[in-house]
């Protein structure tokens, strides 16, 4: 069975999508539609912008979504997933790939999500850190022992968890987790504590936008970040998508459930190769490829 997976924030790179725009008329039309919806020529930043310009949340999230979804669209009838999943932001791309959301509606939601997250970041200085070489339980216990806000945010693969919280919470957690045996505790260059309780203001804004958006019956199940389980019910998909902003991304568990349900080939659709690497770390036997 074929599983299609879609990357999240951090996979962007200067020049992303330019070859697609120049080589496919279908892609060109969709890129221009994206320019209309975003209200500025996001293609100029994607194709010719610097790495720093691409890092702005209001640009990064729509850019990765646009690149992934247009790439999937150019596959045409070849894109026949038996199941889909996306890492954080990538969940929106996955929901276009299985027909739950239209390109236009999903892009509008991604823009609202990016703006809402930017707003939440400005309300409270916060950050994230990657913890390497520790088991999940130890990371969870150390985070729970700290009085500041600090929680596991991304279960990326065995031995790699990203934590999220207040500046002080992350500082204390990095010290404690290193003492607990972490090989590395690396503060990340991000604008805020994504997938933590500090994103509650963003969750409230996104919930309103999602409630007002039409969600269709999907062509195949989406394995959602919040519980790592397959879902085909539009109402439940909406709920899980809202909850995702303040809950951890259970990527390890999602991939494990997809494999248990028969996935034999994972295809990453979008910029970068991050998810291919993570799938291989979760299951060495799994076949992976990228588009």
Euclidean distance between CA atoms 206 and 200, whole angstroms: 10
32 SS3 class: helix
To the query of whether residue 164 is one of the catalytic residues in this protein, the response is no
- Under 8 Å CB-to-CB from 290, ≥6 apart: which residues? 267, 268, 269, 273, 276
Q: Distance between CA 8 and CA 272 in Å, rounded? A: 10
Can you tell me whether residue 182 is helix, strand or coil? coil
Contact 159, 138 (CB under 8 A): no
d(CA 282, CA 291): 20
Pairing of strands 230-231, 222-223: antiparallel
The answer to whether residue 88 is catalytic is yes
| Two structure tokens written together for 256 | 């494990």
Choosing from 11, 195, 254, 257, the catalytic residue is: 195
Beta strands at 126-132 and 184-187: parallel, antiparallel or unpaired: antiparallel
Catalytic position from the list 68, 88, 93, 196? 88
Tokens read off for 183: 């090989």
| In contact, 170 and 142? CB cutoff 8 Å | no
- The rounded distance, in Å, linking the Cα atoms of 216 and 103 is 12
Three-state secondary-structure class, residue 92: helix
What are the catalytic residues? 88, 195
């Amino acid at each position: 069975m074929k599983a299609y997976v879609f990357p999240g924030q951090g996979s962007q790179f200067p020049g992303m999508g330019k070859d697609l725009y120049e080589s496919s008329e279908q892609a060109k039309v969709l890129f221009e539609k994206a320019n209309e919806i975003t209200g500025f020529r996001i293609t100029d930043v994607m194709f010719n912008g610097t790495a720093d310009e691409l890092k702005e949340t209001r640009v990064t999230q729509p850019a990765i979504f646009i690149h992934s979804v247009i790439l999937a669209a150019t596959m045409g009838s070849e894109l026949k997933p038996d199941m889909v999943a996306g890492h954080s932001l990538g969940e929106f791309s996955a929901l276009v790939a299985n027909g739950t959301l239209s390109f236009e509606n999903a892009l509008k939601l991604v823009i609202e999500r990016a703006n809402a997250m930017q707003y939440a970041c400005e309300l409270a200085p916060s950050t994230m850190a990657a913890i390497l070489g520790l088991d999940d339980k130890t990371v969870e216990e150390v985070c729970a022992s700290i009085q500041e806000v600090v929680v596991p945010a991304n279960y990326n693969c065995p031995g790699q968890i990203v934590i999220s919280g207040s500046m002080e919470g992350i500082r204390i957690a990095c010290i404690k987790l290193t003492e607990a045996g972490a090989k590395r505790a690396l503060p990340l260059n991000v604008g805020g504590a994504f997938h933590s309780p500090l994103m509650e203001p963003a969750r409230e804004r996104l919930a309103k936008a999602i409630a007002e958006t039409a969600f269709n019956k999907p062509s195949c199940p989406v394995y959602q970040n919040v519980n790592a389980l397959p879902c085909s019910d539009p109402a439940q998909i909406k709920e899980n998508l809202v909850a995702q902003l303040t809950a951890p991304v259970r990527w390890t568990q999602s991939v494990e459930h997809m494999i248990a349900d028969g996935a034999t080939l994972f295809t990453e659709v979008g910029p970068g190769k991050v998810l291919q690497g993570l799938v291989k770390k979760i299951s060495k036997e799994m076949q992976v490829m990228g588009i």
